[in-house]
């Protein structure tokens, strides 16, 4: 069976549709969403509806949480704050109902899914460094923990009680004795210098996981953002993948 995991759509419908088309190409059987359906982008309601129809499980991200008024946005940067305020005005009652049903985490089979960190998911902390990853390995019992949030994909492995290390390839075998912490990247706003959408595939027959990049109609998203009067900084950064 092939599973797909995707995150951080951020109301970018063009990117989301491209990734879902790729799910069909890859013959994915089940899909899991790791949070931040909204924020930054121009089509929050449309993305929420499509994710609802597609994903087996749907998790809460910090922008989703903020859109419900459950998170103080004063710590957001000015552009993110403006986008959330815009999003709150645009969300329909149906969309609010959908987001309100999102879970904080989800666990099944080999997987522990969470938007930010397994340690303190509602603190919305980031994992950027191996020291932070090492600490978080103690907070999940499943073999594989998948996260989003930073928009920068990575695969970190840990063998038994040894120190964790960065796996420098976009794919990995899932081996006995190892635990994995994998950031699955962002569909709607990548920030690793690559502006293509990113998501993760897991093949249970081959015991293999890999990150996949997908191009989308970026200019069309930018045009929609301009029409919505979203901050020019957010529009420009999409092309840079930052």
Q: What is the pLDDT of residue 149?
A: 97
Q: What is the pLDDT of residues 86-135, one digit of tens each?
A: 999 999 999 999 999 999 999 999 999 999 999 999 999 999 999 999 99
From the options 3.60.21.10, 3.40.50.10490, 3.50.50.60, 2.60.40.10, give the CATH code of 2-240.
3.60.21.10
pLDDT exceeds 90 at position 242: no
| SS3 labels along the chain | CEEEEECCCCCCHHHHHHHHHHHHHCCCCEEEECCCCCCCCCCHHHHHHHHHHHCCEEECCHHHHHHCCCCCHHHCCHHHHHHHHHHHHHCCHHHHHHHHCCECEEEECCEEEECCCCCCHHHCCCCCCHHHHHHHHHHCCCCEEEECCCCCCEEEEEECCCCCEEECCCEEECCCCEEEEEECCCCCCCCCCCCCEEEEEEECCCCEEEEEEECCCHHHHHHHHHHCCCCHHHHHHHHHCC
| Cα-based distances in Å from 109 to 16, 32, 113, 147, 188 | 26, 13, 11, 16, 27
Lookup result for tokens 């928009």: 151
Mean pLDDT, residues 221-242: 94
pLDDT exceeds 90 at position 203: yes
* Confidence (pTM): 0.96
For the chain, what are the domain ranges? 2-240
Please list, in sequence order, all residues whose beta carbon lies within 8 angstroms of the beta carbon of residue 206, skipping any fewer than 6 positions away.
none
Taking a C-beta distance cutoff of 8 angstroms, is the pair 181, 149 a contact?
A: no
Q: What is the pLDDT of residue 93?
A: 97
Q: What is the pLDDT of residue 108?
A: 96
Q: What is the pLDDT of residue 227?
A: 96
Q: What is the pLDDT of residues 130-188, one digit of tens each?
A: 999 999 999 999 999 999 999 999 999 999 999 999 999 999 999 999 999 999 999 99
Lookup result for tokens 């092309």: 239
Taking a C-beta distance cutoff of 8 angstroms, is the pair 87, 11 a contact?
A: yes
* Predicted confidence band of residue 75 (pLDDT cuts 50, 70, 90): confident
The β-bridge relationship of strands 111-114 and 197-203 is unpaired
Mean pLDDT of the chain: 97
pLDDT exceeds 90 at position 15: yes
pLDDT exceeds 90 at position 225: yes
CA nearest neighbour of 202 among 167, 171, 156, 159: 171
């Amino acid at each position: 069976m092939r599973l797909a995991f995707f995150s951080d759509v951020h109301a970018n419908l063009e990117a989301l549709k491209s990734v879902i088309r790729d799910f069909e190409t890859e013959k994915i059987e089940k899909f899991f969403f790791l949070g931040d359906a909204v924020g930054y982008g121009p089509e929050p309601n449309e993305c929420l509806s499509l994710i609802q129809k597609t994903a087996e499980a749907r998790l809460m991200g910090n922008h989703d949480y903020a859109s419900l008024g459950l998170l103080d946005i004063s710590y957001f940067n000015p552009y993110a704050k403006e986008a959330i305020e815009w999003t709150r005005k645009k969300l329909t009652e149906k969309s609010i109902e959908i987001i309100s049903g999102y879970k904080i985490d989800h666990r099944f089979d080999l997987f522990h899914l969470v938007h930010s960190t397994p340690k303190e998911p509602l603190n919305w902390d980031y994992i950027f460094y191996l020291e932070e990853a090492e600490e978080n390995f103690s907070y999940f019992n499943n073999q594989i923990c998948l996260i989003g949030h930073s928009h920068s994909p990575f695969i970190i492995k840990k063998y038994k009680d040894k120190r964790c290390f960065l796996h420098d390839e976009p794919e990995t075998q899932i081996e006995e004795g190892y635990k994995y912490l994998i950031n699955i990247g962002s569909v709607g706003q990548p920030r690793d210098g690559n502006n293509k959408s990113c998501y993760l595939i897991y093949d249970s027959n081959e015991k293999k996981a890999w990150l996949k990049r997908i191009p989308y109609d970026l200019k069309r998203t930018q045009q929609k953002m301009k029409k919505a009067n979203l901050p020019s900084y957010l529009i420009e950064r999409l092309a840079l993948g930052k």
